[in-house]
């Protein structure tokens, strides 16, 4: 039930943050800060080894905040027609107080099995007194009352422009590390290249991000820019990284690379880039079918 706040001084906001922090943490006693019962508690993992980071990461089960009783309501569902809305917090169900999402599942399951309507008492917004609603399942033998678990969202807020810029820089570096880690895992066949996406996937995700607000769209554009910058500096001919590689070779050997080698390398780079574009576009098409 602990909520991990930081590992070796690195703030943990997402699951991938945990693995990145473990991979670069110094060996020895590993400092960890967790939130337990509303209090921040410093802990220490003894004899940490960096080569065991992946195993430790897999041993830590990160779960959803199932203590939440906040619901997500589908439009035109039984719950929606009864008056429930996304963000409502269920206090009582069928006359019984609920403390966690499992309580809601159990009570709703029992009501559905007996073809009984659901009696809700919910809190909405800043209200201190619960409001009563009644919903009947669309299909008496199912659990389809039209509401589900609303995943909790946590926002990291900075104090001032300076801290915000530093936080943005750290986030960009984290994205670069994740891009490098993903590329390495693909070469090791730990991640399937079928997860790659092209212009169709980028357009689809851009639309989804824009529909969630301008902050989500800006974050996605920043993430896209960081990933494109990472790809651009890879030592592939035609890309900036390829030019930097040849400049480095010229500096080492003291003379320019022959035009013949440059020409062949540019051709190979063009074939690689076109092949990648065709492959990711093919994967995009498969996802649409």
Instruction: Show which of 126, 149, 172 is a domain's final residue.
Output: 149
Q: Give the model's confidence band at 238: pLDDT under 50 very low, under 70 low, under 90 confident, else very high.
A: confident
Looking at residue 55, its pLDDT comes to 65
Do residue 54 and residue 75 come from a single domain?
Answer: no
Looking at residue 48, its pLDDT comes to 82
Looking at residue 279, its pLDDT comes to 92
Instruction: Show which of 96, 125, 149 is a domain's final residue.
Output: 149
Q: Report the CATH number at residue 108.
A: 2.30.42.10
Do residue 96 and residue 140 come from a single domain?
Answer: yes
Looking at residue 274, its pLDDT comes to 93
Angstrom distance (rounded) from CA 132 to CA 90: 10
Establish if 52 belongs to a structural domain: yes
- Tokens 């984290």 belong to residue: 174
Let me know how long the chain is: 289
Establish if 162 belongs to a structural domain: no
The more confident residue out of 285 and 17 is 285
Angstrom distance (rounded) from CA 3 to CA 154: 12
- Judged against a pLDDT cut of 80, whether residue 99 lies above it is answered with no
- By the 8 A CB rule, do 57 and 18 touch? yes
The more confident residue out of 61 and 75 is 75
Do residue 104 and residue 88 come from a single domain?
Answer: yes
In degrees, to the nearest 5, what angle opens at C-alpha 125 toward C-alphas 122 and 129? 50
- Judged against a pLDDT cut of 80, whether residue 76 lies above it is answered with no
User: Where in the sequence is the domain holding 56, given as residue range(s)?
Assistant: 1-64
- Judged against a pLDDT cut of 80, whether residue 247 lies above it is answered with yes
Looking at residue 13, its pLDDT comes to 62
Helix, strand, coil percentages (3-state) for the chain, rounded to 5, are 50, 20, 35
Establish if 252 belongs to a structural domain: yes
Do residue 96 and residue 122 come from a single domain?
Answer: yes
Compute the radius of gyration of the chain from its Cα atoms: 26
Instruction: Show which of 131, 149, 167 is a domain's final residue.
Output: 149
Looking at residue 60, its pLDDT comes to 62
Burial class of residue 160 in the structure, from the number of CB atoms within 10 Å of its CB (0-12 exposed, 13-18 middle, 19+ buried): exposed
Number of separate domains in the chain? 3
**In this predicted model, what pLDDT tens digit does every residue of 40-63 receive, in sequence order?**
888 888 888 777 666 666 556 454
Average pLDDT, the chain: 79
Mean pLDDT of 62-71: 59
The 3-state secondary structure of 118-138, one letter per residue: EEEEEECCCCCCCEEEEECCC
- Tokens 């997860």 belong to residue: 195
Establish if 260 belongs to a structural domain: yes
Establish if 168 belongs to a structural domain: no
Looking at residue 226, its pLDDT comes to 92
Establish if 20 belongs to a structural domain: yes
Do residue 54 and residue 92 come from a single domain?
Answer: no
Do residue 77 and residue 144 come from a single domain?
Answer: yes
Mean pLDDT of 13-38: 79
Establish if 189 belongs to a structural domain: no
Do residue 10 and residue 48 come from a single domain?
Answer: yes
The more confident residue out of 190 and 96 is 96
**In this predicted model, what pLDDT tens digit does every residue of 268-283 receive, in sequence order?**
999 999 999 999 999 8
Establish if 209 belongs to a structural domain: no
The pTM (predicted TM-score) of the whole model is 0.47
For 284, half-sphere exposure in the C-beta direction (CA atoms, 13 angstrom radius) is: 15
**In this predicted model, what pLDDT tens digit does every residue of 189-231 receive, in sequence order?**
877 888 888 888 888 888 888 887 888 888 889 989 999 999 8
**In this predicted model, what pLDDT tens digit does every residue of 140-178 receive, in sequence order?**
444 445 555 555 555 566 778 888 888 888 888 888 988
């Amino acid at each position: 039930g602990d909520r991990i706040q930081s590992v070796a001084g690195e703030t943990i906001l997402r699951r991938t943050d945990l693995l990145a922090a473990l991979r670069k943490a110094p060996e020895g006693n590993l400092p960890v800060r967790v939130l337990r019962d509303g209090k921040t508690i410093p802990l220490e993992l003894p004899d940490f080894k960096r080569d065991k980071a992946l195993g430790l990461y897999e041993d830590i089960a990160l779960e959803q905040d199932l203590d939440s009783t906040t619901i997500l309501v589908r439009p035109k569902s039984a719950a929606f027609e009864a008056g429930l809305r996304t963000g409502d917090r269920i206090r009582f169900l069928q006359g019984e107080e609920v403390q966690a999402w499992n309580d809601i599942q159990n009570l709703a399951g029992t009501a559905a099995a007996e073809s009984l309507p659901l009696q809700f008492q919910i809190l909405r917004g800043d209200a201190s007194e619960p409001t009563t609603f009644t919903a009947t399942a669309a299909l008496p033998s199912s659990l389809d009352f039209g509401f589900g678990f609303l995943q909790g969202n946590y926002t990291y807020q900075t104090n001032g422009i300076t801290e915000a810029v530093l936080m943005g820089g750290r986030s960009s570096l984290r994205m670069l590390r994740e891009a490098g880690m993903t590329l390495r895992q693909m070469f090791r066949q730990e991640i399937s290249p079928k997860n790659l996406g092209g212009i169709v996937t980028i357009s689809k995700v851009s639309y989804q991000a824009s529909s969630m607000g301008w902050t989500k769209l800006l974050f996605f554009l920043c993430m896209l820019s960081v990933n494109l910058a990472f790809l651009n500096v890879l030592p592939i001919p035609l890309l900036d990284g390829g030019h930097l590689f040849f400049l480095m070779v010229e500096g080492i050997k003291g003379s320019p690379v022959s035009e013949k080698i440059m020409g062949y390398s540019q051709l190979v780079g063009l074939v690689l880039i076109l092949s990648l574009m065709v492959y990711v576009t093919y994967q995009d098409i498969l996802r649409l079918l």
